[in-house]
Each structure stands twice: as structure tokens, then as C-alpha cells.
Structure 1
């Protein structure tokens, strides 16, 4: 599905980020860029053109993560939000272009969300 392309994972918890990376590898991701917070992802902006999918941790009341999602979407990068907050999922129910997966991240749910995000941008 990802055919050796690059993924960006924005996740504060490194072990969760590694688990997401493992799941993405089963979908064919080649290289993974990691950022612990949105500001670190912004520092990787020069590499955004090579990103095929971005997985972003989102929390209600975190304007930086939401701004990062908007910036990545403006750059035409498919996005999947992951969250432990059900309110985040409900707040994006009207955005089919922005799939939301609830933590802990089930592998099948992440794969479906990646497919959905890629389909919107194809």
C-alpha cells in the first residue's frame, strides 16, 4: 500500500511511535520520520514533500497538533489522527478526509484509516 514511501509519526510516547511504525511497515512503508511534538514535525518541513502519510497524536485543546494537521493537509499529505480522547474522534466526525483512530491503536483500524486517508488524496 505504501510501496516503500516515507511516513511521519508525531507521537509523544516513543514506544507507541515504534508500535505504529511496525504497523506501517506491514503496509509497506520504507522510511519513518519521528517527531515527539508538532514543533519537531515543523522542523522537518523540508522533508514534507517525500511524506506519503502522517500519523499525528491529537488531544483536545492542543492547538499545535490541529495546526500541524491543517498545515500537512494544505501540503496535500494524507493524515491519520490517533488519540486517547473520544472527544477528538467526535469533533472530526464530519471530516472523512481525516480518519481518527482511538488508542490503543488496533492494527486493523490503523490500516483501514491509512487506506481511507490515501484514497481521499488519490
Structure 2
């Protein structure tokens, strides 16, 4: 399903991060991280990690995930917020349409939404290639 797609996990709860990682790997994807803080996630992005999608916890030990999400969205990387409190208010005001899965819903639901977003992006790229010079 994910066929070597590189997915960034930003999650500070080890058990949830491991569970997300296992689902991604079981779907054929490759895990970037997991990053346990905003600073660590931003460092991975700044280092040029090849990221094709991301599952982000809304709140981490060093702040909310807004800066990470904004960096990824600016790069047109599909993002799903997987959080117990929902999308951070500042992020919601800028990107109210980001997909959100509230914990304790299954992590597989967040991955399913991410897969759908990645597939939509790939379809759009194919259409553009066919119709643009």
C-alpha cells in the first residue's frame, strides 16, 4: 500500500510511536523518526530527510506541532494530525482543512487518511503530467 513511501512520525508517547511505526512498515512504508519533539522534527526536515507524508501528534513536550505542520504543508507533503486534543488553534486558523484523528481512535485510521492523501497527491501529479507541457 505505501510501497517504500517515507513517512515522518512525530509522537512523544513511545508506545503510540511504535504502533504507528509497525502499521506503516506493515503497509510497506519506511518510517522517518519517530521524532519526539518539535525541535527534533524540524531538524529532520532541515537536514533534508526525504519525507512523503507525516503523522503528527498535536502537542509535544516542547510545544504544539504547528511549526512542523507548516513546514510540511509548505512543501506540499500530506499531513494527518493524530492527537488527543485535536488540531492546535494556531494551525487550525491557518489550515482548518488538515485531516485530524482524535485519540483514542485507532492509529490505523490516521494511517488510512494519510494513505488517501498521498494517493490523491500522486493522482494529481499524474493528471498534471498528462495535461501540461
Task: Give the TM-score taking structure 1 as reference length.
Answer: 0.78
1:22 to 2:22 alignment: yes
Flag structure 1 segments of 5+ consecutive residues without an equivalent. Answer: none
Aligned-pair Cα RMSD in Å: 2.6
Flag structure 2 segments of 5+ consecutive residues without an equivalent. Answer: 123-133
Superimposed CA distance per residue, residues 21-42 of structure 1 (whole angstroms, 9 cap, x where no aligned partner): 1111222112432110111011
Q: Structure 1 stretches (4+) deviating beyond 4 angstroms?
A: 89-94
Point out the structure with max Rg over C-alpha: 2
Contact 1:9 1:54 in 2 (8 A): yes
| Cross-structure match for 2:103 | 103
Aligned residues: 116
Shift of the alpha carbon at 1:109?
Answer: 1.2
Q: CA–CA distance in 2 between the matches of 1:24 and 1:51?
A: 13
Written as runs of structure 1 = structure 2, the 5 A alignment for 1:41-60 is 41-45=41-45, 46-48=47-49, 50-59=50-59
| Cross-structure match for 2:65 | 65
Task: Give the TM-score taking structure 2 as reference length.
Answer: 0.73
